[in-house]
Structures are given as C-alpha cells and as structure tokens.
Amino acid sequence: KASVMDGDKFDYDEMADSIEKSKAKSESEALQAERKKLPIYTYRDELLQAVQDHQVLVIVGETGSGKTTQIPQYLHEAGYTKHGMIACTQPRRVAAMSVAARVAHELGVKLGHEVGYSIRFEDCTSDKTILKYMTDGMLLREFLGEPDLASYSVVMVDEAHERTLSTDILFALVKDISRFRPDLKLLISSATLDAEKFSDYFDSAPIFKIPGRRYPVEIHFTKAPEADYLDAAIVTALQIHVTQPPGDILIFLTGQEEIETAEEILKHRTRGLGTKIAELIICPIYANLPTELQAKIFEPTPEGARKVVLATNIAETSLTIDGIKYVIDPGFVKMKSYNPKTGMESLLVSPISKASAMQRAGRSGRTGPGKCFRLYTAYNYQNDLDDNTVPEIQRTNLTNVVLTLKSLGIHDLLHFEFMDPPPAEALLKALELLFALSALNKLGELTKVGRRMAEFPLDPMLSKMIVVSEKYKCSEDIISIAAMLSIGNSIFYRPKDKQVHADNARLNFHTGNVGDHIALLKVYNSWKETNYSTQWCYENYIQVRSMKRARDIRDQLAGLLERVEIELTTNTNDLDAIKKSITSGFFPHSAKLQKSGAYRTLKHAQTVHIHPSSGLAQILPRWVVYHELVLTTKEYMRQITELKPEWLLEIAPHYYQQKDVEDTSSKKMPRGEGRAVQHRSTDN
Ligand code: ADP
Ligand code: MG
C-alpha cells in the first residue's frame, strides 16, 4: 500500500510540476511573442551590425518602440556581456526600477540577479548582474570609483533628449573615456527626432532611426484659458469616460500632491455616476509611489472598465503605458529654476514646451488613433510656449556637479566640453560656495574636507554637515538628521479628519523649541527606542514607510562614515554641538528676523518666511539657519534651527563679518529663546 501511496504522490508532484512548467513556458512564450511585436524588433540585426561597426551610435525612436527594454537584451544576446556589464541610464528612479523589473521578467530571471537597477540609496544588483539599469546620477558617481568604467562593455545613455544635468555631464565623461577605451560601445538614445545635436557633439556619430508606428492624434484646444487646470482635467476625464468609446486616459499633472488631490476628487465624483457607467480605475504614478503600487499602471484594464492614469512627466517619454487612447494635457510641469545671483533654487510649476506638448499628445496614438485634450488655447500654444525645454544645466545649482568633477580631477571647468555650457555665473557661484564650505582651497583645488564630502551622494551642504560632525562628536545624530532630511516632507501624516491630533503629536517632538532638525532626530531616536515599531508610527501620525526609508539611508550613511574614517559618536546631551554641526554645513542659509515678522537672509538680503509646518513658526527666533527654501505663495524656509550669531563668526569667519551678525536691536528685545514659550500656539 505504501508503495502505491508513494507512487501516487510521485505522480502528483510530477504532474503539478509539469503544469507549473508549461504555464511558465506559455507565459514566457507569450512574452517573447510580445517582444517580437515591438517596432524595434524588425531592426534588430541592422542595429547590432551598426553597433559593431561604430563605437558611438545615436539611436532615435518613438516612445514605446522598445529602445530601453530591448536594446540591452539584444546586446546581451549578441555576446556583449561577456566582457562587461551593459549600463542603461535613466533620468528617473521610477523608470530605472520599472524597466529593470520588466526586463528581468522578460528574461525570466529574478530582479537583482542578471538584471538589476541602481538608484541613489538603493542598489538592487549582485555579482551576477549583466544588465544594469541606473539613474544617470548613479553612473556619474560610478566614475568616482572607476574612472574608466572598466566593468562595462556598453554604456547606453537613454532618454538623452531629457537633457538632465547628470546626463549632460555624462555626455562629456563618456565621450572622454571612449577615446582611450576603443572596446567600449556608446549608445545615445532619444525619443525626439532632432538627434543631429547629439551626433554633432559625438564627432558626427551615425544616427540610427527606428521608424515608429504612429496613428493619427486628434488635438483639441480649449476655447478660453482655464482658471483651474486641475478641475478642468478632472471634468474632461469624466466627460471622456461617459461619452467616449473604450480606451484608457492619461492625465499629465505636476506632482504627488496634485495627483493625490485629483485621485480623491475622481473617486468622489465617480461614486455619484451610478452603476450604468463603466468602472473607472484610477492609477497614480509619481516618483515616491511605493514600488508595489507602481506595477498597477501596467496591468491590463479589465473588459468593460476604463483606466485613468494620473502621472507626472514620467509618462511623457520614460514609461510607456499600453492602451492609452486619450491624453489630457494641462500644459504644466514642475521645473527647477535657479537664480545664480542669489544662489536660490526653486521648483516651480511652469508651462511646458511645444516639444513636450507634442510628446504628450503622441502618447495617445501608439496602438490606434487617439485624442489629446489640451487645457490651453491654440493661441497660448503658438505664442506662449517655448519650442524646447531649456536644458537643466542652464537652470540649476551646480555645486554638487562641480564637486564631483573636481573629485574626478577635472579642474578647468570653463573649458569642459559641455554640450550646452552653464551660465558662467552659476559655475562661479558653485566654486564660491564650495570654497566657503572649505571643500576647495583658494586655488580651486579639492581639500581633504572636499574629498571626504564627495564620498556622500548628497548635496554638498549636507555632506559638509556630516563631515564636520566628527569635530562636534555627534556623527550618529547628524546622519540621522541627514537621513530624515533626505526623505523630504513625507515623515508626518496629517489625515483630514484628525488634523488636530496629528499636529499635537508632531508638536510633542518640538518640546523645548529645539527646532526642526532636532525634532527630526527625536522622531528617529524615539522610533528606534521602540525597536522600529509600526504601531508607534501609527500612534504618532508618522509614515512608517518613510521611516524605513530613512533607516536604510542612515545605514548607508553610517557605512560611508566608516569609509571616510569618521567614528560613530552620539552627543544628544549637547544640542548646541549638533546645531553647530548643522550650521557648519548650512551657514550660507542664515536669516535674521525683521521687525515686520519676516526674515531676511544674511548674505543676499532676500525676504523669506518660516514655513507654517515648522515647529518654530509661532516662535520666530531672532536668528535661524534653514535647510531649504520653497516657493509657494511666499518664499518659505523649511526645516529650521535657531542659531547664535556668534557661531557664524566662529564657524565661517571667511564668509561673515562682524557687521553681518550685529544685533542692533538686541537691547530692546530679549533673544528668541526667552520669548519662545509665550508665543506657542497650536490653533492652526
Ligand atoms: P522605449 O524605450 O522605446 O520608449 P520601452 O522599451 O520602454 O520603449 O517599451 C517597450 C514596451 O515594453 C512597451 O510596450 C511597454 O508598454 C512595455 N513595458 C515597458 N516597461 C514595462 C513594465 N514595467 N511593465 C509592463 N510593460 C512594460
Ligand atoms: Mg525608453
């Protein structure tokens, strides 16, 4: 009997196993068939030939033609991975992650094994990795450890048309190494047709065009300008849903907050539509969306339902979502702008360029004829939109890039081979700031401090704050603060129906008016004391996901501290030491209270305000140092710590003089700390 049982069991296992295998086989066959349907497939052999014949190749193909997912696979199949990895850079983290996941799936391997991705603070690769998707910023950092990129046989700078700062710097660096590494293949790929510029830059490299399949797109403009584009977008989406034939909708919005608002309103309004109307599935996608939810946008829409994708600019060319038939384009994007005179950088919602508008419209005509609803007038389009987006290098703070280039031994930045040079003023500003932070000496050479700073993948002011923490014996505390600051403003959770509770919970960490940096440290340490409890996060209105990310980042910063040989020490009994460390990195961001209740920055006399979310918003200390400025209705300082003016002379005597820190009205008014408690209020 036993043997029969054994036999049964054996048969059953084998059967289950073979069902599993044939399921996997048919899935993989389906995937392989899908790969062959992509426009690029027809040109596979021609493309491989061109790569073999030329060291540098510019590749142009419509979004969705298969450049990002297929080219690295083709090269792998052709044997290029025998001599090194294939790198494929993406301007956006989400794109790097999502595309790597897709390619791993197509190859039937586990993500992080043969196919992996690398983004800041997250390395999902292993010794096995041969196809590496990464942000352009990460490849830039790899030059620091491996100046000739010896581990790579191919570098594909993808989404070149985006012209991000890191991509622009990569152009120059990869061009340089290609001269002494004839075995290295260089691919520059772009979704736009004006590839001549890339070709010219790379010494007339040949252009390989992948003809796309394009269906006609009907473009509709609004008759009059829209006062509220978010509302107009929602109304348009609902109209499409109710009146138009099947097909998914893609709405371009400017950021997470806007997307969440739109999601909420759409959910609310579709509830009232009744059961006769098809289901509307709402799929948000933006940089900080948790990975599990990112995959949702690629799931096929069930029969009878309609999907509406609420996306940032990531859906313009970086990610292709199949099945989109309707595009709603409000005409805006969140964009960095930089004022080299004051050194101030801000993220502003700005009108898109004509090139962007064309790309957005194109997303609706990939699998069939589409429609694009532009929420601006034809007159606006013709007369107000620029032809092309200004490359980021011309509208951003360059401090970080200059520090990286200096660490790579590139000194003569004025003669660096930029595709489009940054404003000389912005370069000078960056050099000045790095000098002020003691990262460079008077000759513009990297100092020991600068070398240590460059090890950290952070803004130089944060890196300086960390490096200097050695002196103040508070490195452990400072990396916790740096990790928390790197998370941005998604630590605290403020549900609409529990705002008072949430605000009170938040203010608990501000007891003693310690300032926002120390409050963040307290949040981190309290969570650590509970052994990283999720329950504790719920009770304190703190986002557990953000905290886990902070912990990851902190662990990595701790590793880097070890690398630059800074001991881990904590000094929470001496808050002034911690504040001095912060000030040593951020002294250029000092501001002084004015009689009006506003602040004025010490160096550039700009009027700024304390952000209402700050624990010091009701306190108004006389002197403050801030982490960053955000421009909404006013120029707001976010994450603020009170400082003593004499610290500025002690820490940055080369930057501030006595007259900058003189407290002319100090005799009439007691200093900030004393007034603090009376002013405290929680009523808003
Ligand atoms: P390109 O880089 O030329 O814009 P891609 O290689 O990104 O094109 O896309 C090719 C195809 O792969 C598209 O049909 C797209 O929908 C699909 N694809 C890409 N990423 C994913 C993903 N994460 N999940 C499912 N499909 C994907
Ligand atoms: Mg792509």
| pLDDT (tens digit per residue) in 16-46 | 777 777 777 788 888 999 999 999 999 999 9
**pLDDT score for 271:** 86
The residue contributing the CA closest to ligand 1 atom 25 is: 298
Q: Is the CB of 64 under 6 A from ligand 1?
A: yes
Q: How far is CA 38 from CA 263, 296, 315, 359, in A?
A: 32, 22, 18, 19
Ligand 1 centroid vs 405 CA: distance in angstroms? 33
Q: Which residues contact 675 (CB under 8 A, 6 or more apart)?
A: 619, 620
Q: Is the CB of 322 under 6 A from ligand 1?
A: yes
β-pairing verdict for 122-124 and 344-351: unpaired
Share of the chain above pLDDT 70, in %: 95
Nearest-angstrom CA–CA distance, 439 and 435: 6
530 C-beta neighbours (distance < 10 Å), count = 13
Amino acid at 391: P
Cα 215 from chain centroid?
Answer: 32
| pLDDT (tens digit per residue) in 325-370 | 999 999 999 998 888 877 778 788 999 999 999 999 999 998 899 9
Using 50, 70 and 90 to split pLDDT, how confident is the model at 13?
low
- Kindly state the average pLDDT of the residues 568-574: 96
How much is the mean pLDDT over the chain?
Answer: 91
67 pLDDT above the threshold of 90: yes
Given a contact cutoff of 8 angstroms between Cβ atoms, the answer to whether 629 and 617 are in contact is no
Cα 182 from chain centroid?
Answer: 33
- Kindly state the average pLDDT of the residues 160-165: 95
The residue contributing the CA closest to ligand 1 atom 14 is: 64
**pLDDT score for 7:** 46
Using 50, 70 and 90 to split pLDDT, how confident is the model at 632?
confident
Ligand nearest the Cα atom of residue 161: 2
Q: Is the CB of 232 under 6 A from ligand 1?
A: no
Using 50, 70 and 90 to split pLDDT, how confident is the model at 10?
low
Nearest-angstrom CA–CA distance, 568 and 556: 13
Q: Ligand 1, residue 158: give the atom nearest the CA.
A: 2
**pLDDT score for 672:** 43
Q: Which residues contact 493 (CB under 8 A, 6 or more apart)?
A: 502, 541, 542, 543
Q: What are the structure tokens assigned to 515, written together?
A: 């300032």
- Kindly state the average pLDDT of the residues 213-224: 93
331 C-beta neighbours (distance < 10 Å), count = 24
Q: Is the CB of 38 under 6 A from ligand 1?
A: yes
Nearest to 546 by CA among 523, 568, 562, 529: 523
Give the H or E element holding residue 291.
Answer: helix 291-294
Q: Is the CB of 98 under 6 A from ligand 1?
A: yes
Nearest-angstrom CA–CA distance, 213 and 309: 22
Give the H or E element holding residue 138.
Answer: helix 136-145
Using 50, 70 and 90 to split pLDDT, how confident is the model at 496?
confident
Q: Is the CB of 212 under 6 A from ligand 1?
A: no
- Kindly state the average pLDDT of the residues 460-486: 97
φ, ψ (nearest 5 deg) of residue 90: -130, 140
Residue labelled with tokens 């979310």: 613
**pLDDT score for 676:** 37
Q: DSSP letter string over 16-55? A: HHHHHHHHHHHHHHHHHHHHHHSGGGGGHHHHHHHHHH-S
What residues does the ion ligand 2 have nearby, CB within 5 Å?
67-68
Using 50, 70 and 90 to split pLDDT, how confident is the model at 102?
very high
Using 50, 70 and 90 to split pLDDT, how confident is the model at 4?
very low
Ligand 1 centroid vs 71 CA: distance in angstroms? 12
Residue in 102, 103, 156 to alter for ligand 1 test, most ligand atoms within 8 A of Cβ: 102
Q: Is the CB of 609 under 6 A from ligand 1?
A: no
Q: Is the CB of 65 under 6 A from ligand 1?
A: yes
581 C-beta neighbours (distance < 10 Å), count = 28
57 pLDDT above the threshold of 80: yes
468 C-beta neighbours (distance < 10 Å), count = 25
The residue contributing the CA closest to ligand 1 atom 27 is: 102
Given a contact cutoff of 8 angstroms between Cβ atoms, the answer to whether 491 and 516 are in contact is no
φ, ψ (nearest 5 deg) of residue 442: -60, -25
The residue contributing the CA closest to ligand 1 atom 10 is: 66
Q: Is the CB of 192 under 6 A from ligand 1?
A: no
Could you tell me if residue 102 is left (phi over 0), alpha (psi between -120 and 50 degrees) or otherwise beta? alpha
Q: Is the CB of 584 under 6 A from ligand 1?
A: no
ipTM of the complex: 0.98
β-pairing verdict for 332-339 and 344-351: antiparallel
Ligand nearest the Cα atom of residue 71: 1
Q: Which residues contact 475 (CB under 8 A, 6 or more apart)?
A: 466, 469, 561, 566, 567, 568, 569
